[in-house]
């Protein structure tokens, strides 16, 4: 099973418009005007969490993330100190540390990295204030060519065993998985999926923009292992060539379909 991958805020910040869209689409379904406490689990390098602070200007906002590099970039971006940034592995983070019940908990593009995340929902939803909101988004693209070709390139590499273990990521659910799970935790749930058709690099400046995309996310566990120049090239050259075939350049740019799974749950008031 995977360990926590390293993160590079600069690389992740590329394609920021494409990466911020699912967060905005998720939060749009959280229908509360004046929450007291808002928490972002897996807050990354900060821009998404700061949109929460702008959306709910009166709220106390907390961002939790395991990566010191991402948190450092977030603190840098948050010049007014609007958000409380907390370093913690989500598997160990205790909602009681907040000192009050959150009204909104958001987690976007993060739980695919967290083994056993379904079991964690119990504590997170349990900690919500009555009527509070829990909103999650995870990628649902693990059978897409970008990931299938990554696993194939790993199989052919001399360090295949280590790479296979690193790419053995936690399984993400289908919309129905989260709908059932969160309903059983006492929530009204809206779950859905969206496939975005990203148009990468319309200017034609980059040979392989899909590679640049995954280098900042799904490929991190591989890059953490293959630190030597030659062993890295032995992986990246065939993988990049196969990616170019799977995602050819069109007159509009490189079309990159990306499926994502969403669930937004509102906790029903507890009965006395
Ligand atoms: C793809 S980024 C998503 C950032 C942001 N939520 C967004 O939507 O742009 C994933 C983040 O999850 C964090 N992360 C991954 N595994 C984690 C864990 N077990 N505990 C806490 N944070 C984790 C990473 O450090 C990274 O910042």
Lowest mean pLDDT among 6-15, 119-128, 170-179: 6-15
Nearest to 201 by CA among 252, 144, 243: 252
Verify whether ligand 1 is closer than 6 Å to residue 112 (CB atom).
no
Examine the pLDDT at 5 and tell me if it is beyond 80.
Answer: no
Verify whether ligand 1 is closer than 6 Å to residue 138 (CB atom).
no
Nearest CA to ligand 1 atom 20: 89
Q: Which atom of ligand 1 is nearest to the CA of 4?
A: 16
Nearest CA to ligand 1 atom 16: 113
Verify whether ligand 1 is closer than 6 Å to residue 114 (CB atom).
yes
Per-residue confidence (pLDDT) for residue 1, from 0 to 100: 40
Examine the pLDDT at 271 and tell me if it is beyond 50.
Answer: yes
Nearest CA to ligand 1 atom 15: 113
Provide the whole-model pTM: 0.93
Examine the pLDDT at 141 and tell me if it is beyond 60.
Answer: yes
Tens digits of residue pLDDT in 84-105: 999 999 999 999 999 999 999 9
Greater confidence (179 vs 8) lies with 179
Examine the pLDDT at 158 and tell me if it is beyond 80.
Answer: yes
**How far apart, in whole angstroms, are the C-alpha atoms of residue 21 and residue 4?**
25
Q: Mean pLDDT across the stretch 256-267?
A: 98
Q: How many helices (H) and strands (E) does the chain have?
A: 11, 8
Lowest mean pLDDT among 8-17, 198-207, 208-217: 8-17
């Amino acid at each position: 099973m995977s360990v926590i991958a390293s993160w590079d805020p600069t690389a992740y910040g590329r394609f920021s418009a494409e990466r911020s869209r699912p967060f905005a689409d998720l939060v749009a379904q959280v229908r509360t005007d004046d929450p007291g406490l808002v928490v972002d689990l897996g807050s990354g390098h900060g821009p998404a969490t700061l949109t929460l602070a702008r959306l709910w200007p009166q709220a106390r906002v907390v961002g939790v993330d395991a990566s010191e590099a991402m948190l450092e970039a977030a603190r840098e971006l948050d010049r007014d100190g609007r958000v409380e940034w907390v370093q913690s592995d989500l598997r160990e983070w205790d909602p009681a540390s907040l000192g009050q019940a959150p009204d909104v908990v958001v987690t976007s593009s993060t739980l695919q990295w967290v083994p056993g995340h379904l079991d964690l929902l119990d504590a997170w939803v349990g900690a919500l204030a009555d009527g509070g909101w829990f909103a999650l988004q995870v990628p649902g693209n693990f059978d897409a060519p970008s990931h299938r070709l990554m696993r194939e390139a790993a199989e052919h590499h001399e360090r295949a065993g280590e790479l296979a273990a690193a790419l053995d990521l936690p399984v993400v659910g289908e919309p129905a998985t989260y709908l059932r799970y969160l309903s059983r935790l006492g929530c009204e749930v809206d779950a859905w999926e969206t496939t975005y058709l990203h148009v990468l690099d319309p200017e034609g400046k980059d040979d392989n923009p899909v590679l640049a995309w995954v280098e900042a996310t799904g490929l991190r566990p591989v890059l953490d292992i293959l630190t030597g120049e030659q062993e890295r090239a032995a992986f990246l050259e065939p993988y990049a060539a196969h990616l170019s075939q799977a995602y050819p350049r069109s007159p509009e740019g490189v079309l990159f379909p990306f499926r994502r799974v969403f669930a937004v749950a509102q906790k029903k008031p507890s009965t006395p």
